[in-house]
Amino acid sequence: MDDNKYIVFALAKGRLAGQAMELLEKTGITCDEMKDKDTRKLVFVNEELKLKFFLAKATDVPTYVELGAADIGIVGLDTILEENRRVYEVLDLKMGKCRMCVCGPESAGELLKHRERIRVATKYPVIAKDYFFNTKHQTVDIIKLNGSVELGPIVGLSDCIVDIVETGSTLRENGLKVLEEIRDLSARVIVNQVSMRMQNKRITEIIDKMKAEIDQ
């Protein structure tokens, strides 16, 4: 155990990072440097508490944590399942709640029901394959996209999509519907497996504080 070592947090960029920092602040884990909106800095430090924070693309957070560049990561369960990295998932932050769903035009419902060989566009090929092949036992063709997945059925690239639904407004505005629900999602805390052993006291303290705040 080394109390002079920094505990490094990797936070998924975007709305989640803001919410996660708010939660951490309530537990006394603060980082004033991060509040400067104009900064081009990538790594933020709290010298007093020996903490470092950096923002990364969500899909990269599990990579940083698995390889030990960060001790603790905060990222959505969708990304954790898709990336399938060797990390400990230790806490459900109960924020960033949404659902992973099969969506499409109403007409695609029939294709799903009759287990037709359909084309499925998604940013989440691992999750989509697992759902169709292992849970539904349906053969489908998965088309990997990197964003604006709702375009798939609209422009005729795919029959349906597997994607995140939060408020449902993207679907509504594009004439698409939730056809099947795959699972509920939320933001999670992940920990590097070696850090969990070597920095157990400090990391457990941080996790416990966050948990206490969530349970309030």
> Which residues contact ligand PRP by CB under 6 A?
147-150, 163-170
Closer CB to ligand PRP, 27 or 170, in the complex: 170
Q: Which residues make Cβ contacts (< 8 Å) with residue 75, sequence separation at least 6? A: 10, 11, 12, 16, 58, 61, 62, 187, 188, 190
d(CA 184, CA 7): 30
The burial class, CB within 10 Å (0-12 / 13-18 / 19+), for 137 is exposed
DSSP character at residue 6: P
Q: Whose Cβ is closer to ligand PRP: residue 116's or residue 181's?
A: 181
Q: What Rg, from alpha-carbon coordinates, does the chain have?
A: 20
Q: Name which of 142 and 207 has its Cβ closer to ligand PRP.
A: 142
CB of 75 to ligand PRP, least distance (A): 13
Tell me the two tokens of residue 74: 């905060």
Nearer to ligand PRP, 51 or 165 (CB): 165
Minimum separation from the CB atom of position 146 to ligand PRP (A)? 7
Residue 102 Cβ, how far from ligand PRP at the closest point, in Å?
A: 13
